[in-house]
Structure 1
Amino acid sequence: MLEATPESSVSREHFLTTVKGLRHVVEPAKLEKSLSTVIGRHSYLASTRIPLERLLELHAAVTDGRDDPLLMTKAYSHLNYDPGFMGRTFLAGALSLDEAISLLCRYMKVNSDLCTLKLQTTPESATLRITPAAGYSGAHEQLDAMVYSFSRILVALGIQSIDLIRLNHVPPLAIQDQYHRLFPAAVHFGGREPAIQFSPEQLNRPLPWEACPVEKLARRERRLKQLQGQPNWLESVEILIPTLSRRGEAHIDRCANLLAVSPRSLQRHIRAEGSTFRDILDQSRRKLARNYLSKGYSNEATASLLGYRQTAQFYRAFKEWFGCSPSEYQHSPPP
């Protein structure tokens, strides 16, 4: 479980987005007074990170004197979940819904230390687990709002049917109906941790947008590396390769530039983790080729997505990887 620390924080963007939602449900004078009380003379809003405790204190301040445990969720209901907006965010670095959810999970820490996300799948179901940080499992109202937001994001990404939304507490019976009206699916109370469950068949659905500029994805990756105690350079390269490959830019100079290091430094970091850029590129292309073909992409489209200028180059590489042609692989993939 992620541990809360005195340095637990949220991004400045996340804090300001929360304030934006609160403006729809809190009287202006009360919100401004609460902000003044919480932020005070501190220069938090000039920083890229704001202590998580300040966000929780803001919630306590705006709800003081109000008996509305769904206030924060109502605030989050006013945020932008339009699919077109999602297609302009870093999530557009994904081609399919499962890839977008993977990015959402990976960069949760960039937004907030309140919880972590993990997608678990079985043949019968897919579950997005929301695990509160140690010490914050009782922050029910903030966690409920986050779960609500994730459920709306999933719908915007193309999940057509959410089976259930599980919350980790049991609200008073008198207000449970409000949860059912506000959330986009049936709500179950009293689970060990919050979760959103849906059918796994939806995960392979392609996303109806053009890939975002790779710089948006790289910006998230750089922020994540700043927050990691021990950055994993191999993972960072693997994250960028799919988008770079589609643009024909999957080379070390471009990757290093996006990660704000020199090519020599990037290669040194990768070698320290037991690999090379060429090996990562080859392994990533191999994995992506299997993924794209399994999702029904044509040989020509797969070759283009992997950055090959000619389909014949892809054919040769594929035969080296799997000992058969892409067409043969699609008809009877190896175990």
Structure 2
Amino acid sequence: MTTRSTRSPGRITTAAMQPLLTAVRSSGADTGALLRGMGVDPSAFHEGRSRWLSALLTDRLWQTATALQPDLPLRIAASVEPSTFGLLTYLLASHDNTRAALVGLTRYYSLLSEATTYRLDIGARGACMTLDLHGPRPPSVESFAVAVSLCFVRRQALGPLVVKEVRLTQERPPGDLAGSHATFLGAPVQFGCSTTAYVFDRQALTVPLRRADPGLLVLLEEHAASLLAAPSACDLAARVRDQLAARGVDCSARSEDVAADLGMSDRTLRRLLRAEGTTFRAELDAVLAAAASELLARGGGTEDVAAALGFADAAAFRRAFRRWFGTSPGTHAAAVRGVTPRRR
């Protein structure tokens, strides 16, 4: 079995992850220990210090957090207010109506995340917001990406926002979670679709927003445009992940080899990664975890996946996998596929 050489799904700001960390913290979990276990410096999440993290890392955080609370992405999304994500949510809430807010979402979501792209298509009878979640992403992330935008606009609307249908690529979840999707999203939900999207009629686009403020909107859009136009200095981690993928994902990859590929010394690579709030080990783990999850989802056995990723044996792979995801490869694969694992 061989792995596909794919590019990283992108980056997400620590500010975008604050609501999730708050929810995890409120449940009594030690978020600092959780982050350190993933190779992330907890100081990266201090208020006022928003940094970019690999979506491979933040996806693992979502998976860990939702292992015991499957509807957590929906509950967090349903509680988002204009202050939740700062500039982006204040900006969207300041628009005149739902259509303007949704267009703003497609333009400015990259302030928070480069790992998901929104596209609004308006036809004669209705409108469709399509989401492109870059790379293979866990169901919890897809659910949140749909719910956070739809629930936010609905909460800001001064009238009913009727949604005809929500389409998710994930398989129908077990138990009551499918019903929770319909409840939180306020619309019929179709699972196993080819694309991620939600659909409503044209009248929904004209609903005014309760916090519309044209003057504030001008100022916020100017600020957002200046931020998006500024060059990003925090892109080394993404280059490291891309280089690891280009080499062929392997647990034995060495930082000095990747540093040489990137035209710098190993010491410089490690120093610059620390400045971005990460480490070579964390980035390698993120790439390995994503590759392992994808291969298992595609039906690979534990022994085959372990060999494909360069582990000495299946036992070593299982230990690493439990460190990444907090569960076994078999349990994780069953959850991703939406089936109940067989008991041995």
TM-score by length of 1: 0.56
| Aligned: 1:37 with 2:30 | no
- Alignment partner, residue 164 of structure 1: 165
Separation in 2, partners of 1:86, 1:162 = 26
Deviation at 1:60, TM superposition (A): 3.0
Q: Whose radius of gyration is greater, 1 or 2?
A: 1
Deviation at 1:74, TM superposition (A): 2.7
Deviation at 1:139, TM superposition (A): 1.9
- Alignment partner, residue 183 of structure 2: 181
Q: Secondary structure at the match of 2:165?
A: strand
- Alignment partner, residue 56 of structure 1: 59
Q: 4+ residue runs of structure 1 moved beyond 6 angstroms?
A: 85-88
| Equivalent position to 1:15, from 8, 13, 17 | 17
| Structure 2 contact 93–156 (Cα < 8 Å) conserved | no
Kindly provide the CA deviation profile for residues 53-83 of structure 1, in whole angstroms up to 9, marking residues without a partner as x: 221122233345x3x433332333333379x
- Alignment partner, residue 257 of structure 1: none
Higher relative contact order (CA 8 A, sep 6+): 2
Check 1:205–1:181 CA distance in 2 against 1; reply closer, same or farther (3 A cut). closer
| Structure 1 contact 44–50 (Cα < 8 Å) conserved | no
Q: Which amino acid aligns with 1:215?
A: L
- Alignment partner, residue 80 of structure 1: 81
Deviation at 1:113, TM superposition (A): 2.0
CA RMSD of aligned residues (A): 3.2
Check 1:40–1:189 CA distance in 2 against 1; reply closer, same or farther (3 A cut). closer
| Aligned: 1:125 with 2:126 | yes
**Unpaired runs of at least 5, structure 1:** 229-335
Shifted more, 189-198 versus 176-185: the winner is 176-185
Check 1:167–1:213 CA distance in 2 against 1; reply closer, same or farther (3 A cut). closer
Separation in 1, partners of 2:142, 2:88 = 25
Kindly provide the CA deviation profile for residues 167-215 of structure 1, in whole angstroms up to 9, marking residues without a partner as x: 1122245332232233322211111121111111232344342222533
Check 1:193–1:151 CA distance in 2 against 1; reply closer, same or farther (3 A cut). same
- Alignment partner, residue 274 of structure 2: none
Check 1:22–1:164 CA distance in 2 against 1; reply closer, same or farther (3 A cut). farther
Separation in 2, partners of 1:7, 1:192 = 18
Q: Which amino acid aligns with 2:19?
A: T
| Aligned: 1:192 with 2:194 | yes
Check 1:193–1:23 CA distance in 2 against 1; reply closer, same or farther (3 A cut). farther
| Structure 2 contact 121–127 (Cα < 8 Å) conserved | yes
- Alignment partner, residue 91 of structure 2: 90
**Unpaired runs of at least 5, structure 2:** 1-5, 233-344
Check 1:69–1:157 CA distance in 2 against 1; reply closer, same or farther (3 A cut). same
Q: Secondary structure at the match of 1:60?
A: helix
Shifted more, 109-118 versus 217-226: the winner is 217-226
| Aligned: 1:148 with 2:147 | yes
| Structure 1 contact 21–79 (Cα < 8 Å) conserved | no
| Structure 2 contact 118–129 (Cα < 8 Å) conserved | yes
Deviation at 1:154, TM superposition (A): 2.4
Q: Secondary structure at the match of 1:123?
A: coil
| Aligned: 1:99 with 2:130 | no
Separation in 1, partners of 2:182, 2:203 = 25
TM-score by length of 2: 0.55
| Structure 2 contact 87–220 (Cα < 8 Å) conserved | no
Separation in 1, partners of 2:20, 2:221 = 22
Separation in 1, partners of 2:93, 2:72 = 30
Q: Secondary structure at the match of 2:33?
A: helix
Deviation at 1:227, TM superposition (A): 6.1
Separation in 1, partners of 2:209, 2:142 = 27
Deviation at 1:126, TM superposition (A): 0.8
Q: Which amino acid aligns with 1:97?
A: T
Kindly provide the CA deviation profile for residues 219-253 of structure 1, in whole angstroms up to 9, marking residues without a partner as x: 2212222368xxxxxxxxxxxxxxxxxxxxxxxxx
